[in-house]
Amino acid sequence: MISSISSIIVAIILLSILVIAHEFGHFIVAKKSGILVEEFAVGMGPKLISHQFGETVYSLRLFPLGGFCRMLGEDQDCHDERSFQEKSLWKRAAVVVAGPIMNFILAGVFFFGLAATTYIMLPQVSLLTEGYPAQQVGIQLGDRIIKLDGKMVGLFEDVELIMREADGSPMEVEVIRQGQKLAFSITPMLSTEDGTYKIGFIPTVRNGMFSKDVDGYEKASFMDTLRYTGDSLVFYTRHMAEGLGRLFTFQVSKEEVAGPIGIFQVVGEGYQEGLKHSVAAAIQNLAYLGAILSVNLGLLNLFPVPALDGGRLLFIIIEAVRRKPMNPELEGKVHFTGFMLLMLLMLYIAFNDVSKIFMG
**Residues classed as catalytic:** 23
- HSE-up of 246 (CA within 13 Å, CB side)? 11
3-state secondary structure of 72: coil
Cα–Cα distance between 97 and 233 in angstroms, integer?
A: 17
